[in-house]
Amino acid sequence: MMPAGITPEELHNIYAAEEQFWWYQGMRAISTAFLNPLSSIRLERGLEAGCGTGYNALEFERLYGCQMVGMDLEPLALLYGRKRNFKRSLRGSIKELPFPAECFDLVTCFDVLLHLPPGEEPGPLAEFARVLRPGGWLVLRVAAFNLLRSRHSQFVSERQRFRAGPLLRLIARCGLQTVRWSYANSFLSPIALVKFRIVEPLLGTEPHSGVEAMPPAWLNRLLKRVLLCEAALIRRGCRFVFGQSLLILAQKTASSHNA
């Protein structure tokens, strides 16, 4: 879901960067490693809540064989998705999903809750639980730790960042059991902390897009490899306790549909 205030130019930047930009490549590898438990599970129908340009939904179809439906509040994002040949998408809000109860085996939501004002996330989480079938899976990724908020965060109208404990408790109240969680993009966090909290304020850096321009090829490869190292550790069961993102895999309990 593209936040209110994002420019069409930035949406184009995202569309152009998703294939080759180090952050997108590396975070996809981390997500795939983190979601290794799903690789042996049959998933028939999934929802990408806040599908953006459709890249992640297409990846889930390729990796897990499920038919994904995309939903986003921004019509231009849906048009970019159709340019990727992702056509099963519609306009809608995560606050009130336009779907009946218990109709999906999987709900994914990547970097969307962070655009909500603090305190509004319980509603969408309850909606995700509502549309999941008993035994269905929720995949969440959110930005983590307020001290890691960047000028790019401001530019894309980020409203909040999360910590694991409070968010996991909200998920449990919705009848979902957390199977796995970890922070991610952890190895680069010390560098990011210095940049965001010291360098950018000293330089008076204005809010700006972080994906408008590709870094030099050597740097793009290096940064990607750092994230690939994280992915390898996460695949082996490692949990990071600090990082710029938070990943959560939760399952709807068999009894929660009667709650």
Domains of the chain: 8-258 (3.40.50.150)
What's the pLDDT at 258?
Answer: 43
pLDDT above 50 (res 68): yes
Q: pLDDT at position 212, please?
A: 81
More confident residue, 155 or 93: 93
Higher pLDDT, 174 or 208: 174
* pLDDT reported for residue 22: 97
Pair of tokens at residue 122: 């319980």
Residue 8 has pLDDT above 90, yes or no: no
pLDDT of res. 255 = 63
- Above pLDDT 70, what percent of the chain? 96
Confidence of residue 116 (pLDDT cuts 50, 70, 90): very high
